[in-house]
Amino acid sequence: MKYEQVIGLEVHCELKTKSKMFSSSPVSFAKTPNTMVNEIDFSMPGIMPSVNKKAVEYALRVCHALHTEIDDLICFDRKNYYYSDLPKGFQITQQQRPIGKNGYLDIIVDNQKKRIEIERLHMEEDTAKQTHFDDYTLIDYNRAGIPLIEIVTKPVLRNGKEAAIYLEKLRQIFLYTEVSDAKLEEGSMRCDINLSLRPIGSKQLGVRTEIKNLNSISNVQKAIEYEASRQEKILLSKKEVIQETRRYDEGLRKTVLMRSKGNSVDYKYYSEPNILPIRLSQKWIKSIKNHLNMMPDVREDLYIHKYHLSSIDAKKIVSSKELSDFFNETVLLSQHYQIICNWLLGDVLAYLNKHHLKLNQTLLTPSYLSTLINLIEEEVISSKQAKQVFEIMMKEGKDPRIIIEEKNMKQISNKEELTFIINQILDKNTESLIDYFHGKDRVIGYLVGQIMKETRGQANPKSTNELLIQLLEERKG
Ligand code: ADP
Ligand code: MG
């Protein structure tokens, strides 16, 4: 029997709003534990939660980016369960009316487009963070109440690779909509896998397991690959897969049982009585759409068709929002699109890697980069000089024109000026001339070297070469 994998992903994303989903305590990371909490986060008697408008706006940005239908009536529900990471004894979530539903995200797998259908996108609040030790657990309530969105796909993914591509693309959506820093290693983006197998051709869903605690996209892929083969072995030996929650153990490279959970957990959902439904204005929903940043797919398209970059280059630029924003600003100032791209992917990235910096931590601006590129293209400086200017520009944050001025670096391209200099050199090197007349072309290199020395590297190499040969030929005759 041959089986196919059926995978649905649930992704949680922490929103980087200033305050929490239902209270004014700050959204913070890496602060002293249990200092960023108030009575609302704990649900003390008598408190009233109020909905964070910014969190709704962020959720709507992602809804728009994922093309979901939007429910303009915001309703919340209580999901009741008892656990130490949930001081209230319930989580406020959107069970009955998710803010977004029926969306999609297109991914490219092996050069083919595949539409990943999104079932729902809803808002909820985060739980406290627990750190487990051998015989005790520490709890940090700073995380309790941080706004979350959860995005659930239909069971349409078919293997680990597709899941990894989907997650990377979704992560980019979070970054491009500027709602989260979306780091799986730090938990601001989290992914649960639901996976079952079924005989190829069957339309029915098999029994699934859920896998939690994935801290990187590559681990999601590995967990899926392991779990699919585990389930396949069970099915091939005519046993049954048990519906349960497992976790991925990175050390063992295996999924291991966390808890057996049937589909019978009853959270006794009911409407959150302290938050009345909120009707959103269509105007506000639309204005959020209109102010949405351009998404990666659209940028990639633009780079290929308007700026004539190769699809590989376009993808590389788009893979970082920072780089892409920088490119967008630079192409407004210089039309040498491919050269801008080359500089960004070449010297600029190399500089960032070497100094462990991000683009916005450097002194580089789109204006400096475009000026530098224009100076090269107008042959004011050679590309060799440009490298020097670049280093100084990065270190000192100076306009390249000023650097060139200060270092007296201008390239000599003027024909008369060059002719004069070359003739001087030829007059001084009569032996080389004789060698040249005897067919020893090697002397050209030597003579160019002399010219460069004389001009302190400022002679335009291309014009120098051409002119030198021309003048040598003239002297021959
Ligand atoms: P739960 O309430 O347990 O989270 P849902 O029905 O909301 O379950 O589904 C959660 C995710 O699991 C969705 O992405 C869904 O597509 C996926 N899923 C549901 N049933 C299966 C199955 N039999 N095999 C694989 N994935 C499934
Ligand atoms: Mg689930």
* pLDDT higher than 70, residue 379: yes
Q: What is the pLDDT of residues 177-219, one digit of tens each?
A: 999 999 999 999 999 999 999 999 999 999 999 999 899 999 9
The pLDDT value recorded for residue 1 is 85
Sort strands 209-212 and 245-249 into parallel, antiparallel or unpaired.
Answer: parallel
**CB under 8 Å to 258, separation ≥6 — which residues?**
212, 213, 244, 245, 246, 247
Tracing tokens 């290199």 back to the chain, one arrives at 445
> Which ligand is in closest contact with the Cα of 95?
1
Neighbours of 4 (CB within 10 A): 15
Q: How many CA atoms lie within 13 A of 400 on its CB side?
A: 25
Q: What is the per-residue DSSP string for 120-144? A: EEEEEE---EEEE-SS-EEEEGGGT
Q: What backbone torsions phi and psi does residue 380 show, to the nearest 5 degrees? A: -75, -40
Distance of alpha carbon 433 from alpha carbon 245, whole angstroms = 84
Q: Which two tokens stand for residue 167?
A: 């997650």
Ligand 1 proximity of 6 Cβ (cutoff 6 Å): yes
Residue 402, Cβ density class (10 Å: 0-12 exposed, 13-18 middle, ≥19 buried): middle
- Residues 381-395, mean pLDDT to the nearest whole number: 91
Per-residue model confidence (pLDDT) at position 381: 87
Q: 209 C-alpha to center of ligand 2: Å?
A: 10
Percent of the chain with pLDDT strictly greater than 90: 84
Give pLDDT, residue 462.
Answer: 86
CA distance 299 to 316: 11
For the Cβ of 221 lying below 6 angstroms from any atom of ligand 1, the answer is: no
d(CA 102, CA 108): 20
Ligand closest to the CA atom of residue 8: 1
Helix axes 296-305 and 321-330, enclosed angle (nearest 10):
40
Best of 166, 194, 263 to mutate for ligand 1, by most ligand atoms within 8 A of CB? 194
pLDDT at 230 over 70: yes
pLDDT for residue 409? 79
Nearest CA, atom 4, ligand 1: 10
Is 90 exceeded by the pLDDT of residue 294?
yes
**Angstrom distance (rounded) from CA 390 to CA 383:** 10
Cβ–Cβ under 8 Å, residues 59 and 80: no
**Shortest-distance atom of ligand 1 to CA 153:** 14
Residue type, 51: V
Q: In this predicted structure, what is the pLDDT of residue 262?
A: 59
415-429: average pLDDT: 91
Average pLDDT value for the chain: 94
Q: In this structure, what is the dihedral angle of CA atoms 445, 449, 451, 455, given to the nearest 10 degrees? A: 150
Using the Cα atoms of residue 145, residue 221, residue 294 and residue 288 in order, give the sign of their dihedral. negative
Q: How much is the pLDDT for 54? A: 98
Relative to beta strand 77-80, strand 90-93 is antiparallel
Share of the chain above pLDDT 70, in %: 99
Separation of CA 408 and ligand 1 centre (Å): 67
pLDDT at residue 264 in the model: 64
Nearest to 42 by CA among 20, 59, 74: 20
- Please name the residue whose Cα sits nearest to atom 13 of ligand 1: 8
Q: Is the pLDDT of residue 464 over 70?
A: yes
Reported as a pLDDT band with limits 50, 70 and 90, residue 263 is low
**Would you say the pTM of this structure is higher than 0.85?**
yes
106 CA → ligand 2 middle, Å: 23
Output the residue whose Cα is nearest ligand 1's atom 1.
Answer: 263
**pLDDT value at 10 more than 70:** yes
Of the two residues 262 and 352, the one the predictor is more confident about is 352
Residue 123: band (very low, low, confident or very high) from pLDDT cuts 50, 70, 90: very high
Asked which of 321-330, 338-347, 451-460 is least confident by mean pLDDT, the reply is 451-460
Tell me, in angstroms, the distance from the centre of ligand 2 to residue 262's CA.
11
Distance CA 392, CA 372 (A): 12
Q: Using the predicted structure, report yes or no on whether residue 261 has a pLDDT greater than 70.
A: no
| Higher-scoring residue by pLDDT: 264, 336 | 336
At residue 476, the pLDDT reads: 80
Taken in order 464, 465, 471, 472, is the CA torsion positive or negative? positive
d(CA 468, CA 471): 5
pLDDT at 387 over 80: yes
